[in-house]
A and B are shown apart, each in its own frame.
Chain A
Amino acid sequence: MDSPYEGLADEHADTEDRWAFGTGFAEARPGVDAALPAGVDGADLALYCRMLGDDALVMAQRLIQWCTAAPELEEEVALANIALDLIGQARPLLARAGRADGTGRDEDALAYHRDASEFRNVRLVEAPNGDFARSTARLLVFATWRLAVFTRLAGSADPVLAAVAEKGAKELAYHRDYAVQWTLRLGDGTRHSHERMTEGVAAVWPLLGELFAPHAVETRLAAAGVAVDPADTREETVGVLARVLEAATLDRPDEVPPPAPGGRDGVHSGELAPLLAELQAVAREHPEATW
């Protein structure tokens, strides 16, 4: 037998569509073609969906880079599970973006066939993983901030954003909890783990400013009750981080730095393009493939 999968296919010839390597899954998108809320510009809504979708997609890609590289198998499983939740959040957001902007692009077209300058994720998520402490610090910041966004977004006038946020908030609360427990363990651990965690927080902190800087699209959509003004999440996010760092016996870096032009405008660090090359290689090499 040439391939172990052929045996499976023979054995389950009548139930081929049960198997992940089967074809023809037609998963109904969860209402992504729902009508736009009155008075909302489709291009604005699409861009906002891409911001939130790209944050999740790029963060997920960073997290799965820990597979085969984490300190323990359990943490690889944990980080891959968190990544899977985030991919699940990204999919309806990107699908909604493709409908709202009128291009009809599906989630795969947006995930696999855009270049770095077309991604609208914040720079926090594209920054390199560094060591486990630095990745923990980034996950703590990301989950805390995104949870603050999603609990507010659950009341969005856009039904897709509201549904994705209501569901995603439960998952993000669990992700934050995971990152909090590791921050406490490493910060309030050995002298060495304390040093590494301190360095991790210091490396991530300069990327905080962008999280709270509203883009013009966010401001317009927030006025229409569709988006969350990220400035409104600053107090909660910084407050939670301060409490966690204090409990972990870590010094809090002084100020949240002012935002520089960045990911929300498609201006990225040099780290994003190689990450996307890895993410997109198979789909671009085999554009006719289905899965």
Chain B
Amino acid sequence: MVTGADAAERRARAVAGSVPDPELPMLTLADLGVLRGVEVTADGTVRVSLTPTYSGCPALAEMGADVRRRLAEAGYGRVEVRTVLSPAWSSDWITERGRRALADHGVSPPGPAPARAPGPVPLVLGPTRPAVRCPRCGSADTEELSRFGATSCRALWRCRACREPFEHFKEI
């Protein structure tokens, strides 16, 4: 049986989850995997938990403000937005829909994040670059131009086949 409270929570989750990312508007917060929880308390307060992609991500404050505004527009009077750091966000949390949206907009989606066993992070001296396909022409003949890009989550790449530069979403 679906209670009124369950329905309110599902609706609030849908509203919060459909908010676009301020820097990558082709992705919703749900697509990006940063929406970590939505609950409606007994007194009707919507409690939203967001997690940053990177510790310093400056978009987090805007995401919170956008979620508040959208929920207010949808009729939710009391909204609390909380930041959670653990478990730490991983690019593996980007949904399939989100990956397609990135590729459709010329950003190559991330491959699998590096596996992290407990203990020291192994040192890699050789190239650590992932195999990245050009989001425009599909060629695998690509090269990294810079490990960092316009935002924390992206790196700058170039396709040797079609000669176009493109952004790659970093694996983390």
Contacts and interface: CB of A to CB of B under 8 A. Distances in A.
Q: Do these two chains interact?
A: yes
A27 interface: yes
B149 A77 contact: yes
Given A85-B55, A167-B86, A184 B148 contact: no
A236 B146 contact: no
A31 interface: yes
Contacts of A151: 118-121
Contact of B172 (A25, A27, A170): A170
A163 B85 contact: yes
| B interface, size bucket | 35 or more
A168 interface: yes
Interface stretch (A116-124, A126-134, A174-182, A269-277): A174-182
Interface string A131-165: 00000000000000001100100000001001110
Contacts of B146: 74, 77-78
Contact of B56 (A29, A30, A86, A244): A86
Interface stretch (B7-15, B27-35, B62-70, B93-101): B62-70
- Helix, strand, loop or mixed for chain A's interface? helix
B83 A27 contact: yes
A74 B165 CA distance: 14
A169 B57 CA distance: 15
Interface of B: 22, 52, 54-58, 60-62, 64-66, 69, 80-89, 114, 116, 118-121, 123-125, 128, 145-150, 152, 156, 170, 172
Give 4 nearest A-B pairs by CB, closest first.
A88-B55, A88-B56, A84-B56, A163-B85
